[in-house]
Amino acid sequence: MAKINLLIGIHNHQSVGNFEGVFKEAFEKCYLPFIQILEKHPKIRLTLHYTGPLWEWVEWNAPDFFERINALVSKNQIELLTGGFYEPILPMIPETDAIGQIRLHTRFIKERFGYNPTGLWLAERVWDPSLPKILSASDIKYTILDESHFTYAGLKHKDIYGYYITERENFTTAIFPIDKTLRYYIPFKLPEDTIEYLKKTAEENGEIGITYADDGEKFGVWPGTYKWVFEEGWLERFFNALDENSDWINLMTFSEFLDKYPPTGRVYLPTASYEEMMEWALPAEAIEEYEKTIEELKAAGRLEEYKPFIRGGFWDNFLAKYPEANNMHKKMLYASRKVNSAFKVNDIKGEAAKKELYRGQCNCAYWHGLFGGLYLNYLRHAVYKHLILSENAADEKRHQEKEIYLEAETIDYNSDGFKEILISNPYINTYLSPNYGGGIIEIDFKPKAFNISNLLARRKEGYHYKLKIAKNNEGSAAEPVSIHHIIKSKEEGLEGLLYYDWYNRYSFLDHFIDSSATPESFARCNYKELGDFVNQPYGIEEFSFLKDKSDGYIILKKDGAIYTEKGAVPVTIRKRFSFNGNSGMINAGYSLINRGIIPIESFFGIEFNLTLLAGNDESRYYVLQGREDKKRQMSVSGDFNDINRISLVDEWSKIRVELSYSASSGLWVHPVETISQSEEGFERTYQGTSFLPLWKLNLKPKEEWEINIKLNIK
């Protein structure tokens, strides 16, 4: 009988910022029982990867698990993979951080298990042709990628065996291709089906190496898999089947195969990831067209023929698809520059700062596909928290522990071709975008490492049309359906909540609103905007920040218009933002001038989009006019009159945000809630709350209207 070498790799990961209960449940339902069954089958040999956040949780909460892993390593039953410790997308972070993350992970494994890993798990299998240089600098000999990467390079399924060599500037790396059929068979098909597939492959190709590598969460965490894999014994039966067929199925680790067999060939792979990721990275409209094309080719029986030439986007496009992901990514790059500049020589504080930076590079919150990712506000919050903590350490080092300082710079912070203004003191970071409505895109309260402006706008997604057909279809008890094919909704009527924003959810955005608008139509973004200010460019009229001065200000100006039935009326808005180094206060002075020849009759509103993370939590609420006896949770909508003071209170984080202004207004409040998909189905997610103070304007020609606003965080 023909023999075959089977290489099995299991990748286990939980994100930075995930809930304690998620870690615990995944450990108890997946990671621990998998090892317990593996211990009963000493002939089963495979390769395991655990990410840094998971290692850290286990070390604190289940240290005995380390002894189990150590015993398996000592018996040469398992091989451990390194990687970026906090699971970053390596091509998307600075090279020095990528090497630092890999070395941190390698050192962790050496210290705990006395093992020197030479293979690397590449987060989300996001490949870039520049990676061989980074991997070589980190003493990595091999990594593992999907069959799709090789397909895009023109290879066929029959070529997906053994390993290939690639290089950049003579820095070489071995790459093992993952067999796509095995990826979809294990653990969703019966063990006999997998054995039959391996037998057929061995008969057709002889003694080759065939790779299965995928997420460990498929073995107990994905919907329906715990019952299937453990309660109904799939894993036990699979290992038994491998034991029973060990005369022709030889289980090897990747490094053993690398030492014993020559490469299958040389390959140069394009920038790519696994198929689903590349689809998710496309714009929403393109996803629908892509899926339609795939279905048409399937129906015509031509998909495999055209597969090398049909692909989705690539990971970087998430930064174009979601401005919030781009802002977070650029925050990470900015923090990296500050940390690596401040701590040129490693010391204890420098190592701690870099760890916080590395935690803020965990990939999960930067993108969205099947998993919640970017849509989960607590994951984004964790990224910002750790980036702010790393920045705080760098600022403390740079300012030599000064109690008071104020600094400002104008740079193209988010790489959009326009300059932003970044203001920082010991209490807050404030990032202004003159080009985008003269609004504030980020407000960090540094003592609590909390970004109170961390909202995600409501956008059309390529899967929203599926809400109409959403139903529970998790599959029969016999075989669970792959998570990629489950369509269900966690709540009835979500299709009726699909509202889309036409602007980003920043603060200090200026609206001229038609009198026909209502709080409900404004909340749905289905109202008539009369002005051209919300997302349009303002100019910088004055910029006054002097070195060693604790006070500074910026004046932004826009000559725009209000478009009425009588024609366009020219309007000038000036807003003066002032700061000092001794508080978390933002002072904004507004001036509106009617430059036309006819009166202006309109509602003028200044929108604030703020978050305390939870919409329905009694410890997070807002209060109007100081009425502490009337606390409203952050998801509570409202239409109020005679308001000039709004207080947002987070008792959990001990943060209070005070928003006050010099003339009483009407006030529209509504939660910003998105509809997205996750591994558990379509769900509604609270992103933050929109507050719109609204004034009725009656401005005669050449008349000026003024308002003063204070936003204070303490």
Q: Which two tokens stand for residue 669?
A: 């409040």
In a domain, 344, yes or no: no
pLDDT of res. 64? 97
In a domain, 454, yes or no: yes
Residue type, 431: Y
**Given 79, 97, 124, 650, which residue is catalytic?**
124
- Kindly tell me if the per-residue pLDDT of 473 is higher than 60: no
Sign of CA dihedral 511, 513, 519, 523: negative
Please answer whether residues 538 and 558 qualify as being in contact, where contact means their C-beta atoms are separated by less than 8 angstroms. yes
pLDDT of res. 475? 45
Rounded Cα distance, 451 and 430, in Å: 10
Q: Select from 217, 247, 273 the last residue of a domain.
A: 273
**Given 39, 215, 474, 601, which residue is catalytic?**
215
In a domain, 286, yes or no: no
pTM for this one? 0.95
In a domain, 263, yes or no: yes
In a domain, 123, yes or no: yes
| Mean pLDDT computed over 115-135 | 97
pLDDT in tens, 348-384: 889 999 999 999 999 999 999 988 899 999 999 999 9
456 exposed, middle or buried (CB, 10 Å; 0-12, 13-18, 19+)?
Answer: buried
* Phi-psi domain of 522 (left: phi exceeds 0; alpha: psi -120 through 50; beta: other): alpha
pLDDT in tens, 222-244: 989 999 999 999 999 999 999 99
In a domain, 281, yes or no: no
* Cβ neighbours for 8, distance < 8 A, ≥ 6 positions apart: 45, 46, 47, 212, 213, 251
pLDDT of res. 307? 87
- Asked about 124 being catalytic, the answer comes back as yes
In the chain, how many domains are there? 2
pLDDT of res. 294? 93
For residue 652, what are the domain limits? Answer: 402-459+495-713
Cα angle 294, 300, 304 (rounded to 5 degrees) comes to 60
In a domain, 331, yes or no: no
* Phi-psi domain of 567 (left: phi exceeds 0; alpha: psi -120 through 50; beta: other): left
548 exposed, middle or buried (CB, 10 Å; 0-12, 13-18, 19+)?
Answer: exposed
pLDDT exceeding 70 applies to what percent of the chain? 97
Rounded Cα distance, 126 and 367, in Å: 12
Residue type, 270: P
Query: Which H or E run contains 325?
Result: helix 323-342
Q: Select from 273, 295, 316 the last residue of a domain.
A: 273
Q: Select from 221, 246, 273 the last residue of a domain.
A: 273
**What is the CATH classification number for the domain harbouring 415?**
2.70.98.10
**What is the CATH classification number for the domain harbouring 67?**
3.20.110.20
- Kindly tell me if the per-residue pLDDT of 476 is higher than 60: no
pLDDT of res. 488? 74
- Kindly tell me if the per-residue pLDDT of 572 is higher than 90: yes
Question: Which segment of 441-445, 564-568, 606-610, 633-637 scores lowest on mean pLDDT?
Answer: 564-568
- Asked about 20 being catalytic, the answer comes back as no
In a domain, 703, yes or no: yes
- Kindly tell me if the per-residue pLDDT of 394 is higher than 50: yes
| Mean pLDDT computed over 448-469 | 92
